[in-house]
Structure 1
Amino acid sequence: MSPEPPHWPLHSRKKAGDYRIFEVHEEECSSPVTRQKHNFFVIECASWVNAIALTPDKQIVLVRQYRHGIKEVTLELPGGVHDHADETPVEAAVRELREETGYIGGMAREIGKFHPNPAVQQNAVYCVLVEDCVPSGATAFDETEDISTALYPLADIPQMIHSGKITHALNIAALYHYLHWRGR
């Protein structure tokens, strides 16, 4: 196995843009090997949470919502931005689950964490398992959300990913974390 590459020293950093949900920063770094300087752009945004919400009868709580990037309605895990400094990822996932679906659960715990695109982003995605979920009442959508809730048998998830019914890459990674966690 070859040695781990060294870190690149940061020489300067400046904000290149602010786009409400993320900022872009230009960073000048140098290669520790060649000493040449290079400019990189880093997208900075809050970390995200995905709630893998299971009902007592092993249904998974999913949401349908329109996604502007692909101009389609997608089937996804409830989740969103972990943007409150005083909130843990587990608390954020439980909050997002309740706001988007009206479901609440019993035990909730973090089962995984990954970086969505470390080449250009600094944030993380937290996978939170929420068990024994039941409907509790009204949703509380953000002003840009128009969401419907759907229940599916947990056993159907691998086929739903394979068939293209679930296509959101961050959700697929979160579901992989769950399937690995469950199987260990």
Structure 2
Amino acid sequence: MRGLLRASPIVVAVALSAALATPARAQCVDRGERAPPAAISAFVSDPSVLLRQSKNDRDKLSGRLTGLLVTDIAALAPVRDMLREASQADRVAIGAGLHRAEERCVAIKPDVAHRISEFVNKLHDGAVLKGYFADQDAASVPGPGSSAPAAANNVPAGSGASAGLMSGEWKTELADPFKPVPLPE
């Protein structure tokens, strides 16, 4: 018994160091961008709470769903229950939110992005697919003044003349205000 008690602090120390050594990015986003744990647990216990919170605001619905999914993929399973109570327009917004979550996860956690994609494919819900693919198409449409898709030019989407003063993947870096404006070809 005494040997077991001596080994216990070592086990605790190893477990503590393993917990502290885990990366700050447990899911698809950094800690500062994650949804609060209370929001995730409220959604998991009652998925319709998201529909009630974002009454008739489709952007808010898709944004909040994206935030929950990129924070914790466990929020994916309750989406099926939420769809049972969602209107047709809400289903389209949910599809857009699922696609945005997949896009945010694809570079950091490709396995999570794959789970979202598989979930959408298994739903067989036309409205969800409509929102999912509409958001996908909107992400691939070239910006104003651009004749080719951004991927073909190796330039991030929206980095043309109309991009404004912010640049970077999430528009968090200041763009060069003296950069020459690309001329149309």
* Fold match by TM threshold 0.5: no
What TM-score, normalized to structure 2? 0.25
What TM-score, normalized to structure 1? 0.25
Looking at CA atoms only, which structure, 1 or 2, has the larger radius of gyration?
2
Greater relative contact order, per chain length (Cα 8 Å cut-off, separation 6+): 1
